[in-house]
Amino acid sequence: MDSFDKFDSDIKFPPLIEQYEKKIYDLHQLIEISKGLNSTLDYNILIDSILLTCMGQLQLLNAGIFLVKVLGGDKFTLHRNYKGFDLDHSMEYSFPINSPLIKFIENDYRCYTSDEIINDIKDEASDIMNILKPDILVPLMSKGEINGIIILGDRINDEEFSESEVEYILNIASLAGIAINNARLYEMATTDMMTKLKIHHYFQTILVEEINRSIKYDRPLSLIMADIDHFKKFNDSYGHVAGDEVLKNVAAVFKESIRLIDIGARYGGEEFAVILPKTDINEAIIVAERIRSAVESSTLRFNEEVLHVTISVGVAQFDQSIDLTKQSLIERADRALYVSKEEGRNRVSFL
């Protein structure tokens, strides 16, 4: 080797080292990202983690994710935890799961530009993308099926994504797709399929956790117990199909009336429960009355008849001096519910 060849080798070798160092760094980052995404099965926390990871790693100003909103749902909806997009929060941005967009991207796992979607597809999905105007879309896959779409918007440095960055995005999306599938399976296992509220066992588990947090951080915790008034009448008069519709209608009111941090559950039969973290008795009574009033004013039609549904509600606040177990708190809320029934139903009582 003459001196020129040696000189040429010295120039080319360091960039190669830098490339390998970058790949090693990216792999380490992906391992940490994987640990983070798999550390929670809480849907909202997971979505936040995915979006913040993308924004931090890729220096983005905005990001969002489309998911099937409810179990067994028929459309992809922009999750409310989207970041940076200037949108009308009262609107729902969604498109059918059988949209031409899904058919367009499901057979080719890669990053797509919004121009590709807008120019090649003419449907609700392309209309939404025209509003959002993301730089790229990335399908989230699990077991060969699309379970979401990440949209990534403007970059802080206003640069286009490099080839290595696109590869990195696909790796993050692959991890995110698996994590979302795991969270979805957990959600299915802990959700009552008829009412879409949490099941009894999950309620009991979370109540213990929230009681422990209440003690540790010295913050209030309240519990609502509710029962559908004269539920047997709906089954006897109209059949069990009508009874199921009553349950679904009441459950929907519960879901719409509580916060993200609250836990609504089907306690059993026609009885419902809501765990209210960071909530004292006065605040809990307001929530309970809001739910009761919303159920009473809701309209449920069955076979051209309007079914008038009401609920009786009991409320109790956790008191460390008397609630030695979770069962004590449940029993106090249940006694308050019994008072509501004894005093004529369709009312809120508290202990």
Contact 339, 243 (CB under 8 A): no
Dist CA 170 CA 188 (whole Å) = 27
Cβ(290)–Cβ(257) under 8 Å? yes
**Burial label, 125 (beta-carbon count in 10 A; 0-12, 13-18, 19+):** buried
What 3-state DSSP class applies to 134? coil
Check: CB of residue 190 under 8 Å from CB of residue 202: yes
| Strands of the sheet with 221-228, listed across from one edge | 263-268, 271-277, 221-228, 311-317, 348-350
Rounded-to-integer distance, Cα 197 and Cα 272, Å:
9
Q: Which residues are CB-neighbours of 341 under 8 A, at least 6 positions away?
A: 227, 229, 312
Angle at 80 between CA 172 and CA 89, to 5 degrees: 140
316, β-bridge pairs: 223
Q: Among 145, 165, 167, 270, which one carries the catalytic annotation?
A: 270
Q: Which of 328, 302, 155, 294 is nearest to 242 (CA)?
A: 302
- Structure-token match 């309620």, residue found: 203
Task: Mention every residue, 6+ apart, whose C-beta is less than 8 A from residue 284.
Answer: 222, 223, 224, 276, 315, 317, 350
Q: Clarify whether 116 is annotated catalytic.
A: no
- Residue 41 one-letter amino acid: L
Strands 263-268 and 221-228: unpaired
Kindly report the length of the chain: 351
List residues with catalytic annotation.
Answer: 270
